[in-house]
Amino acid sequence: MTGDPVTFDDVRAARARIEGKLRKTPVLTSTTLDRLFGASLRLKCENFQRAGVFKSRGAFNTVFTLGDADAQRGVVTSSSGNHAAAISLAARTRGIRAYIAMPKNALKSKVAAVHRYGGEIIWVESRGEVPTTEEYDATVARVQAETRANLVHPYNDPRVIAGQGTCAAEFLEECPDLDFLLAPVGGGGLLSGTTLAARGARSAVKVIGCEPEAADDAQRSLRAGHIVPQIGPRTIADGLRTSLGDLTFALISRDVEDIVTVTEQGIAEAMRLAYEVLKIVIEPSSAVPLAALLERKLAVEGRKVGVILTGGNADLDQLPWARPAER
């Protein structure tokens, strides 16, 4: 027992909780990429996870942690992306309502995913092009006042962090001898869960966070020793534009070996490489760790390198190397 808000025991409990509801995603290898990077790669494919993204892990763990009385009031969250779809799917699976505060300019594909999984969208009123945190919070507070639904933060929540940790726990069980484990970092839910899993597995693996240069708040936060919020990031990795929270910052500060950053061009090239060589569809955020290898940001020659490919919900009309056909 520790006084920590979230530990490996929570990850273990999360694994039991989501078992049978979510997929144990496959680990791919590629002789072509091994040759290109001079390392032995293991690629954990969360793009094949339900709702196409690792975030289903945190969402399911949270929704299925709720007691029955709490659960019947539903869940509420704010998200313009994958967390919204994951919470909607988890709630539908439990048979409860999900209220999703979304910006009016959210991508059609993300709105469609929430509708597909039965989530109820509440549009966030906004003065600017993108809602501010205050505008999101006001909408969520209004929904909570009306419904008493349970708030689920996209990443700064012990239940979410423990759920995301199940990915690395599975990965390290299948590949116990990894030298490095690379994951992208946005709000830090996945990366902090990954550190818990590595600690719990008593693994010597070095956990590395990867983020766009254009959204390098995690690297700056780690160097500063306190959270440096991300202001107006402009990156194609839309899942990594958020800033760390206090829980994720604490875990990442304690156990992450390093944070490396990559260029926008590197992200696009790495994304295309995954399509071309691995024959899988990944979204820009997922390509960030591959970009770190492509841009030689880590000395991995001859080492065994695990990479979490986080999701596959790419906008197929806006692939970074193509644009929609003229009809």
Of 280, 295, 303, 304, which lies in the binding site for a copy of itself, with binding defined by CB under 8 A? 280
- Considering only residues 47 to 86 of the shown chain, the ones binding a copy of itself according to CB under 8 A are 47-48, 52
Distances (CA, A) of 220 to 157, 169, 187: 22, 27, 13
Q: Strand 75-78's sheet: what is its strand order?
A: 120-124, 98-103, 75-78, 150-151
Distance in Å, CB of 208 to a copy of itself, minimum: 24
- Classify residue 22 by its DSSP letter: B
Shortest CB 267 distance to a copy of itself, Å: 15
* Residue that is written with structure tokens 């025991």 in the block: 9
Pick from 108, 232, 279, 302: which binds a copy of itself (CB under 8 A)? Answer: 279
Site size for a copy of itself (CB under 8 A): 25
The smaller minimum CB distance to a copy of itself, of residues 52 and 58, is found at: 52
5 binds a copy of itself (CB under 8 A): no
Among 127, 202, 234, 323, binds a copy of itself (CB under 8 A): 323
- Do 289 and 191 form a contact (C-beta atoms < 8 A)? no
Least distance from C-beta 254 to a copy of itself, angstroms? 33
Kindly indicate which of the ranges 129-137, 192-200, 217-225, 279-287 contains the residues binding a copy of itself, using the contact rule CB under 8 A: 279-287
Does residue 276 interact with a copy of itself by CB under 8 A? yes
Distances (CA, A) of 281 to 128, 167, 264, 327: 33, 19, 18, 24
Told to check if 172 binds a copy of itself by CB under 8 A, we report no
Pick from 262, 211, 261, 264: nearest CA to 239: 211
| Distance of alpha carbon 297 from alpha carbon 259, whole angstroms | 10
As beta bridge partners, residue 185 has none
Give the shortest CB-282-to-a copy of itself separation in angstroms.
Answer: 8
Query: Residue 21 CB, nearest distance to a copy of itself (Å)?
Result: 12
Identify which of residues 127 and 327 has a Cβ nearer to a copy of itself in the complex: 327
Q: Using CA atoms, how far apart are residues 105 and 48, in angstroms rounded to an integer? A: 27
Span of 124-132, 259-267, 287-295, 314-322 interacting with a copy of itself by CB under 8 A: 314-322
Structure tokens at 33: 């990429």
* Binds a copy of itself by CB under 8 A, chosen from 33, 236, 270, 281: 281
Residue 282 in 3-state DSSP? coil
The correct pick among 13, 122, 250, 319 for binding a copy of itself (CB under 8 A) is 319
By the rule CB under 8 A, 299 interacts with a copy of itself: no
Q: Within positions 251 to 270, which residues make up the interface with a copy of itself, using CB under 8 A?
A: none
How many residues are there in the chain? 327
Confirm or reject binding of residue 108 to a copy of itself (CB under 8 A).
Answer: no
Q: Which is nearer to a copy of itself, 68 or 326 (CB)?
A: 326
Of residues 16, 26, 118, 265, which one binds a copy of itself by CB under 8 A?
Answer: 26
Q: Enter the tokens of residue 157.
A: 């929540």
Count CB atoms within 10 A of the CB of residue 150.
Answer: 19
CA 138 to chain centre: 24
- Give the count of beta carbons closer than 10 Å to the beta carbon of residue 4: 15
Assess contact for 306 and 181: CB atoms under 8 A: yes
Residues forming the site for a copy of itself (CB under 8 A)? 26, 28, 47-48, 52, 272, 275-276, 278-282, 312, 314, 316-317, 319-326
